[in-house]
Amino acid sequence: MAKKTGFISDESYFWHDTGNGALFMPPGGWVESDVHSENPETKRRFKNLVERSGLMDQLTQFKPRKAKTEDILRYHGNEYMKKVEELSDIGSGDAGELALVGKGSYEIALLSAGGALTAVNAVMDGKVDNAYALTRPPGHHAEGDLGMGFCLFNNVAVAGKYAREVLGLDRVLILDWDVHHGNGTESAFYEDPNVLFISLHQELNFPAGRGYAEETGKGKGEGFNVNIPLPAGTGNAGYLHAFEEIVGPIADQFQPQLILISAGQDPSLFDPLGRMMVTSDGFRQIARFMLNIAEKHCGGKFVACHEGGYSSAYVPFCSHAIVEEMSGVHTDVEDPFPGALPDLPVDELFSIQKQYVANAKKVQSKYWDSLNG
């Protein structure tokens, strides 16, 4: 069934300048100048595919508003905001660990966070059923007083705080399927029982020392922080198994009023900064799974915010599949890549993947009744 789906983007997002380099390293020494991993092309090519396929014609487009100071300060510190602004005025710098700032990046980052807020308002006001915010720079690694991992302001955390404190929602579910742990979002809600945060990620990837299953929240928030680390090589079947065994049962008990997704398409088969094996069809399946939870508990209120994903060739197909699933509109686009490597076991569930999920499930079983079996 077709849904009314919002799409939020802005040309400014593609003008955030991370400079040149190789993967995530700046040029110099033995590193020859190349294109930085967090460059505009993965996002721009995704938007191009949405337009060329005709899918954009079926979506409701919104221009993002710029986040206000008070929006950012619900999570980030004032001194950190000033630091990003000063580096942006200078034209270069690092707001933390691998959090590059270019000329004008401060204003673009405010617009990126504002894109998440625009999406939340569009859904909660009933203008659309769900929404995809093609935001850049990404956000989920950004801590309250520190940028990290290409992220300046934490778009999803800002949106979650807004939903709680301004819109008055009692139960917000944030799910992060980026291949890297959503450390900044975890920190934002680690003691908050009104926000259920779930992160599925490749174990021991980035950032170091974060994302362990045993990190379950603190104080009143204990049990409301769910980490599901997965082994390298996990594909469609492994991810869906984790959703069925852990995410679904916990979400059913939490009964969210809004679902926010940190949609990083870097668990994909061809990503240079991850070692997972999810295809565009895998992203379609997990998007459908979460959309069904949204239909069941909160009238379909579902917002996806773009995070990572660094294969400019493949991110467009993965992201396009997600938006097709959100809208219920299917185009003529066919993903040509997995068919070229037909013997890869992307849809096979391996015992090691089952064991990782079982371990995470065991940790959560003390908090969520339906996981006691």
Any idea what the CATH number is for the domain that residue 357 is in?
3.40.800.20
Does residue 360 sit within a domain? yes
Picking from 181, 156, 134, 160, the residue whose alpha carbon sits closest to that of residue 306 is 134
The pLDDT assigned to 340 comes to 87
Does residue 112 sit within a domain? yes
Strand-pair partners of 263: 306
Q: How many residues does the chain have?
A: 373
Decide if 141 is catalytic.
yes
Do the Cβ atoms of 93 and 101 come closer than 8 Å? Answer: yes
Does residue 283 sit within a domain? yes
Do the Cβ atoms of 215 and 186 come closer than 8 Å? Answer: yes
Which has more confidence, 99 or 22? Answer: 99
How far apart, in whole angstroms, are the C-alpha atoms of residue 283 and residue 137?
21
* Beta-strand relationship, 130-133 and 195-202: unpaired
How far apart, in whole angstroms, are the C-alpha atoms of residue 150 and residue 112?
13
Q: What is the pLDDT of residues 95-117, one digit of tens each?
A: 999 999 999 999 999 999 999 99
The pLDDT assigned to 372 comes to 62
* Beta-strand relationship, 172-176 and 225-230: unpaired
How far apart, in whole angstroms, are the C-alpha atoms of residue 169 and residue 135?
23
Task: Please give the share of the chain, as a percent, with pLDDT higher than 70.
Answer: 99
Does residue 249 sit within a domain? yes
pLDDT at 373 over 70: no
The pLDDT assigned to 217 comes to 98
Do the Cβ atoms of 59 and 46 come closer than 8 Å? Answer: no
Annotated catalytic residue, options 16, 36, 140, 141: 141
| DSSP class of 170 | S
At 140, give phi and psi (nearest 5°). Answer: -70, -15
Does residue 147 sit within a domain? yes
pLDDT at 151 over 70: yes
Query: How many structural domains is the chain composed of?
Result: 1
Do the Cβ atoms of 305 and 323 come closer than 8 Å? Answer: no
Does residue 29 sit within a domain? no
Do the Cβ atoms of 53 and 333 come closer than 8 Å? Answer: yes
pLDDT at 304 over 60: yes
pLDDT at 193 over 80: yes
How far apart, in whole angstroms, are the C-alpha atoms of residue 158 and residue 160?
5
Do the Cβ atoms of 64 and 118 come closer than 8 Å? Answer: yes
Task: Please give the share of the chain, as a percent, with pLDDT higher than 90.
Answer: 92
Q: What is the pLDDT of residues 200-253, one digit of tens each?
A: 999 999 999 999 999 999 999 999 999 999 999 999 999 999 999 999 999 999
* C-alpha torsion 355→358→362→364, nearest 10: 130
Average pLDDT over residues 34-53: 96
Do the Cβ atoms of 267 and 177 come closer than 8 Å? Answer: yes
Instruction: Identify the domain containing residue 321 by its residue range.
Output: 5-24+34-371
Do the Cβ atoms of 353 and 234 come closer than 8 Å? Answer: yes
Question: Is the pTM here over 0.95, yes or no?
Answer: yes
Does residue 324 sit within a domain? yes
Do the Cβ atoms of 266 and 180 come closer than 8 Å? Answer: yes
Task: Give Cβ neighbours of residue 204 (< 8 Å, ≥ 6 apart).
Answer: 229
Does residue 236 sit within a domain? yes
Taking the alpha carbons at both ends of the chain, their separation in whole angstroms is 35
